[in-house]
Amino acid sequence: MCALKSRRKGYSYKNASMACRNYYLFPGSKTYIYASNKQYLTEDGILTKAWDYMDFIDKNTAWGKKRSVNTQMRKRAGFFTKDEYGNEIELGFKSEIIGVTLKDNPDVVRGKAGKLIIFEEAGSFSELGAAWQIARPSVEQDGMAFGTMIAFGTGGDEDSHFETLKDMFYNPDGYNCIGFDNIWDETPSDKKCGFFIPQYTNMDFRDDAGNRIYMDNDGNTLRRKSVEYILTERRKVIENATNSVAVDRYVAEHCLDGDTWISTEDGVTRIKDNPKAWISGVKDVYRLTTEDGTELLLTDNHKIFDGK
């Protein structure tokens, strides 16, 4: 599965919970979590969240398990004892969660069969395509999948490598990923795509009474109200940023219309034709026509220079 998402949608928590589910419910299961850099796994990364879950479960529930391996990058359920001959043996559940950093070496994933394989911050993998294809036999055999692989990432990451993740999103069959109806792009299409989580979905802001502002009581997104808030916040960044880097970084994580012309190192091109472009949602687009007949497509917060 390929999932493109905006910031702070809780996917590190979601994937950490999936890893813990396998760890506690499936004996002998292995979950691999790959990242291009160790910091994406540790610090405030997915492994840290998984370890916090495990500490809570072991301390407060009947599902607690001893650990035969207990390091920063790997946890294994089990314990060591001696058999009748005095030999040390391992007993227990023998399920494990293992973090692996690729460091631009996709061959690291080779031969690691797992029930669940997660690519954390996939937009930062310089060798995502090779690593994904090398890892596929770890969860597939004779055309049948016996495990799950998930690549998820966000636009605007430092040192991002968008091309493969974008290709996975728009061509899921080429990577044996599940396809979804494309309800996010402005141009209708019958072609399947990956799963997309726009910025405007499920924003959990609350008023003083504790009521959600941008979702209804059933948790459904109030789309127009959410988009208006996002555009207002974007306008603040553009108007108050002290350098172009801050604006560029913010814009990279928020959507622009695909027909917008941008300047790149390869010349001027439309965003939708640029292989490095990042799609992060759909916004309302307006057509501005000047007195001389020139037309411009833009969003409602697009600044226009009037020559004054």
Q: Tens of pLDDT along 64-87?
A: 999 999 999 999 999 999 999 999
Q: Are residues 66 and 193 in the same domain?
A: yes
What is the overall mean pLDDT for the chain? 82
In this prediction, residue 275 has a pLDDT band, given cuts at 50, 70 and 90, of low
pLDDT value, residue 161: 67
Q: Which of 178, 197, 216 delimits the end of a domain? A: 197
CB within 8 A of 272, min separation 6: which ones? 258, 259
CB burial string 263-285: b at 16+ within 10 A, e below: eeeeeebebeebebbbbbbbbeb
What does the pLDDT average to over 26-31? Answer: 96
The domain that holds 176 is classified in CATH as 3.40.50.300
In this prediction, residue 255 has a pLDDT band, given cuts at 50, 70 and 90, of very low
What whole-number distance in Å separates Cα of residue 6 and Cα of residue 182? 17
Q: What phi and psi values does residue 87 have, to the nearest 5 degrees?
A: -85, 140
Residue 163 has pLDDT above 70, yes or no: yes
C-alpha dihedral (40, 44, 47, 50), degrees to nearest 10: -150
pLDDT value, residue 263: 43
What whole-number distance in Å separates Cα of residue 133 and Cα of residue 137? 8
Give the count of beta carbons closer than 10 Å to the beta carbon of residue 146.
11
Q: Are residues 81 and 223 in the same domain?
A: no
Q: Are residues 186 and 253 in the same domain?
A: no
Report the number of secondary-structure helices (H) and strands (E) in the chain. 6, 18
Q: Looking up tokens 């294994």, which residue turns up?
A: 76
What whole-number distance in Å separates Cα of residue 107 and Cα of residue 138? 13
What whole-number distance in Å separates Cα of residue 154 and Cα of residue 40? 13
Q: Collapsing DSSP states into helix, strand and coil, what is residue 182?
A: coil
Percentage of the chain modeled with pLDDT above 70: 78
Q: Are residues 217 and 186 in the same domain?
A: no
Q: Are residues 41 and 148 in the same domain?
A: yes
pLDDT value, residue 220: 92
In this prediction, residue 6 has a pLDDT band, given cuts at 50, 70 and 90, of confident
In this prediction, residue 146 has a pLDDT band, given cuts at 50, 70 and 90, of confident
Q: Are residues 22 and 77 in the same domain?
A: yes
Residue with more model confidence, 97 or 252 = 97
Q: Are residues 164 and 304 in the same domain?
A: no
pLDDT value, residue 305: 64
Q: Are residues 307 and 211 in the same domain?
A: yes
Q: Are residues 203 and 147 in the same domain?
A: no
Q: Which of 197, 228, 256 delimits the end of a domain? A: 197
Outline where the chain has alpha helix (H). 11-25, 46-60, 128-135, 162-170, 223-240, 244-252
Domain count along the chain? 2
Q: Are residues 60 and 93 in the same domain?
A: yes
Q: Which two structure tokens, joined as six digits, stand for 115?
A: 């029930």
252-to-6, 127, 202, 279 alpha-carbon distances in Å: 11, 21, 20, 9
Q: Which two structure tokens, joined as six digits, stand for 106?
A: 């996709």
Q: Which domain holds residue 282?
A: 199-308
Backbone CA torsion sign across 166, 171, 174, 176: positive
Which of the residue ranges 157-171, 188-202, 243-257, 285-299 has the most confident prediction, judged by mean pLDDT? 188-202
Q: Which of 175, 197, 219 delimits the end of a domain? A: 197
pLDDT value, residue 259: 46
Q: Are residues 36 and 179 in the same domain?
A: yes
Q: Are residues 159 and 292 in the same domain?
A: no
What does the pLDDT average to over 108-133? Answer: 87
Residue 197 has pLDDT above 90, yes or no: no
